[in-house]
Amino acid sequence: MISQNHMKRTNSAPKHALLIKYWSYSSLMSFLRNPLAWYKRYVEKVYDTPASPSSFVGRAGHVALQHYYGGIGKEGSVDLGLEYLRSVGDFEINFGKAQSRLAKKKKREQMEREYEQMLSFYLARPPRYKVLDVEVMAIAEVDGLALPIKAISDLVVESREHAGALDIVDHKFVDSFSKDRGQKSLFVMQAIFNYYTVREKYGKSVRRFIVHECKKKKNADGSSQMRRYIIDFENRAEDFALFHRLVNDATAEIGRPRKYLPNPSDMFEGENSFDIYRLGLVDET
């Protein structure tokens, strides 16, 4: 499997000087995209930024599949995902221009239709695995990294290709399929977070990271709504080295005195981070 010899670069920042206890894929991507929004969420633990309707539809889909692969039937799983979606408060959703009560009601109805449609696509022919666990949260200490890493894996399954090894399965509900397939850098970085944490939790060889993308809107040409991407860890030595370099460099950045600046062009949290900066709510750390 992957050699550890190329991953020995260490981070000089002392742990007591760091602002967080561990890195996750989402926190690392947030830091790279918008350091001030990252500081608010992952250091100050303030979670008041509304999310898009699409993101909640995707989360509901994950809830449904968590129950489906946990042993509940299709109909019951869909109902549980819908129950989650309906439990989300209006204040948690970024409705955009839909600000009236009627407009918000119509938007929520649209969210439910989109949710039910995408689950019907996925569950028409759901991928089959010998599932060991669902929604697996784990933390791992990794040689050469100053901070532990944390990840949540949608499914941990027995590998079909390699006896005694594990595969990790991830679900994504998307508006369009990814162009770079298994070479997509974001997929690879996420996969390595999951690789280390699953290996730590189960003490077994982890061979592949399998991504299932389910397109939310029906293809006009009648083609499949599903695509699968496979990342085989056996052939990813350069990606592991890059992962260590990136995490160590990010750790060094948060371990030094710095100003946390906004990224106004961030389509998700740019405006909010700029408001924080305008009001001077975060001093130099």
Which region among 7-16, 58-67, 120-129 has the lowest average model confidence (pLDDT)? 7-16
pLDDT in tens, 39-84: 999 999 988 888 999 999 999 999 999 999 999 999 999 999 999 9
Residue 21 lies in a domain: no
Widest CA span in the chain: 60
> Does 155 lie in the same domain as 99?
no
Q: Which distant-in-sequence residues (6+ apart) come within 8 Å of 230 by Cβ?
A: 182, 208, 209, 210, 211
* CATH label of the domain that carries residue 147: 3.90.320.10
Q: How confident is the model over 23-41, as a mean pLDDT? A: 92
Are both 159 and 57 inside the same structural domain?
A: no
Backbone conformation region of residue 141, classed left if phi is above 0, alpha if psi is from -120 to 50, else beta: beta
Q: Are 106 and 157 contained in the same domain?
A: no
Exposure string over 187-211, b if 16+ CB within 10 A, otherwise e: bbbbbbbbbbbbbbbeeeebbbbbb
Residue 67 belongs to what domain range?
A: 53-124
Q: In the chain, which ranges are continuous DSSP H helix?
A: 25-33, 35-38, 53-69, 74-87, 101-124, 185-202, 237-254, 270-279
Q: Could you report the per-residue pLDDT of 206-218, keeping only the tens digit for each?
A: 999 999 999 998 9
Do 245 and 133 belong to one domain? Answer: yes
Of residues 184, 203, 254, 191, the one with CA closest to residue 16? 254
Task: Report if residue 145 sits inside a domain.
Answer: yes
The percentage of residues in the chain with a pLDDT greater than 70, rounded to a whole number, is 84
Share of the chain above pLDDT 90, in %: 70
For 198, the 3-state DSSP assignment is: helix
Q: Which residue has the higher pLDDT, 14 or 131?
A: 131
**Is 117 inside a domain boundary?**
yes
Residue 33 lies in a domain: no
Q: Are residues 185 and 141 in the same domain?
A: yes
Asked if the model's pLDDT at residue 264 lies above 70, the reply is no
How many domains in the chain? Answer: 2
Residue 143 pLDDT exceeds 90: yes
Of 96, 124, 152, which residue constitutes the final position of a domain?
A: 124
Secondary structure letter of residue 55 according to DSSP: H
Each residue of 175-234: pLDDT tens digit? 988 876 555 788 999 999 999 999 999 999 999 999 999 999 899 898 999 999 999 999
Same domain? For 113 and 138 the reply is no
Does residue 58 sit in the same domain as residue 98?
yes
13, part of any domain = no
Q: Could you read off the pLDDT of 232-249 as tens digits, one per residue?
A: 999 899 999 999 999 999
Domain annotation covers residue 43: no
- Single out the residue in 83, 102, 124 at which a domain terminates: 124
Q: Are residues 75 and 58 in the same domain?
A: yes
Q: Would you say residue 108 lies in a domain?
A: yes
Do 107 and 144 share a domain, yes or no?
A: no
Could you tell me if 138 and 212 lie in one domain?
yes
What per-residue confidence (pLDDT) applies to 4? Answer: 43
Is 144 within 8 Å of 10 (Cβ atoms)?
Answer: yes
Whether 19 is covered by a domain: the verdict is no
